Amino acid sequence: MTDRKKLAVVALGGNALLRGTQIGTIEEQEDNALETIESLVFLVQEGYNLVLSHGNGPQVGNILMRNDAGEQNYNIPQMPLDICVADSQGGIGYIIERMLRNVMKKHGLNREVVTLVTQVIVDKDDEAFSNPTKRVGRIYTKAQADQLAADKGWEFKEEVKQTDGWRRVVPSPKPIGIVNEKVIETQAKLGNIVIAVGGGGIPVYIDEVGDIRPAEAVIDKDLASSMLASRIGADELYILTDVPYIFRNYGKPDQEIMEFLDKKDTEKYLASGEFAEGSMAPKIRACLNFIDSGGDKSVITESTKLVDKKYGSKITMEYD
């Protein structure tokens, strides 16, 4: 009888492929992916079974702008948001898979890798559909936004950092299920590395007769990754971002590293508003959801720091 291998879900943040002021060339994205994967290959060396997820915000934004340009200049019909998310899953998954295979070859590792276009189920009655908040795509003038709202029924909100700038907003409902989660679990536990739930997954809902229908929305990648980790029985969840730790009083003179946290203290800090809603709070909720569902450990750290175990904030049910 062989020992059971640990199963980890690793959620790669947007900076795993695109960073800072980079414009998003394929060379930039490949170099960033390579650096990120070098930092997590030790999990393969240590015998972990792995599922990788990833963000797609900048890439979907670029796809939407290509949509605009194609329609305006060449009369090419625009594709809906679910197709754009699916496109990004394929492209980003391909980059990660190819870089991962090359890194494993370099280190003498032999594991199969598969990228899975993943549909994630949402509730069509989720309150998020009546209050779109997620900004996507390019910035428009007020006149352009008004015309698109009239032509396409899109909703827009003003950009706070740009005068006369408006961006489309779409719903961001909570994930409640994954269409092919059993495939992901089976392949991962066979030792194959699975890239899944890219960009939070393609948002779909189940209609009155049980058919799968697309939802014009986006799903939070960390919440979807946390749910996937729980549903496939993962032991650990890693959320890779652009900071090496969770900080208390982030950005202030008395900023303090929080390296080890238990569930109770983490919930207390979250409730007090310690973590910003636009950045760290959703990641903290994803980690807590995973721990609540029986996960052993959640880790939040910078994408290139994972290999150095002195970095990273660890959240567990109880801290000894």
pLDDT at 15 over 90: no
Q: Which of 13, 15, 199, 200 is catalytic?
A: 15
Q: Which of 56, 283, 295, 312 is catalytic?
A: 283
Decide: 244 and 307 in contact? Cβ < 8 Å. no
Q: Which of 5, 6, 124, 134 is catalytic?
A: 134
The answer on 119 and 147 residing in a single domain is: no
Specify the residue for token string 């650096």: 35
**Which distant-in-sequence residues (6+ apart) come within 8 Å of 37 by Cβ?**
96, 99, 100, 103
Task: Assign 2 a pLDDT band (cuts: 50, 70, 90).
Answer: low
The mean pLDDT of 12-23, rounded to a whole number, is 82
End residue of a domain, out of 170, 198, 233? 170
For this structure, is 157 an active site residue? no
The answer on 166 and 289 residing in a single domain is: no
The answer on 137 and 117 residing in a single domain is: no
For this structure, is 283 an active site residue? yes
Secondary structure class of 308 (helix, strand, coil): coil
pLDDT tens string 161-182:
656 689 899 999 999 999 999 9
For this structure, is 15 an active site residue? yes
The answer on 146 and 241 residing in a single domain is: no
Provide the residue range defining the domain that includes 94. Answer: 7-123+178-316
For this structure, is 289 an active site residue? no
**Which distant-in-sequence residues (6+ apart) come within 8 Å of 78 by Cβ?**
67, 68, 70, 71
pLDDT at 234 over 80: yes
Q: What is the CATH number of the domain that holds 281?
A: 3.40.1160.10
For this structure, is 14 an active site residue? yes
307 found inside a domain: yes
1 found inside a domain: no
The answer on 97 and 148 residing in a single domain is: no
The mean pLDDT of 298-311, rounded to a whole number, is 90
78 found inside a domain: yes
297 found inside a domain: yes
pTM of this prediction exceeds 0.85: yes
Decide: 296 and 29 in contact? Cβ < 8 Å. no
The mean pLDDT of 295-317, rounded to a whole number, is 92
pLDDT at 208 over 70: yes
- Supply the mean pLDDT for the chain: 93
2 found inside a domain: no
28 found inside a domain: yes
Q: Which of 57, 221, 289, 314 is catalytic?
A: 221
pLDDT of residue 1: 42
The answer on 118 and 231 residing in a single domain is: yes
End residue of a domain, out of 141, 170, 199? 170
Decide: 136 and 170 in contact? Cβ < 8 Å. yes
The domain total for the chain is 2
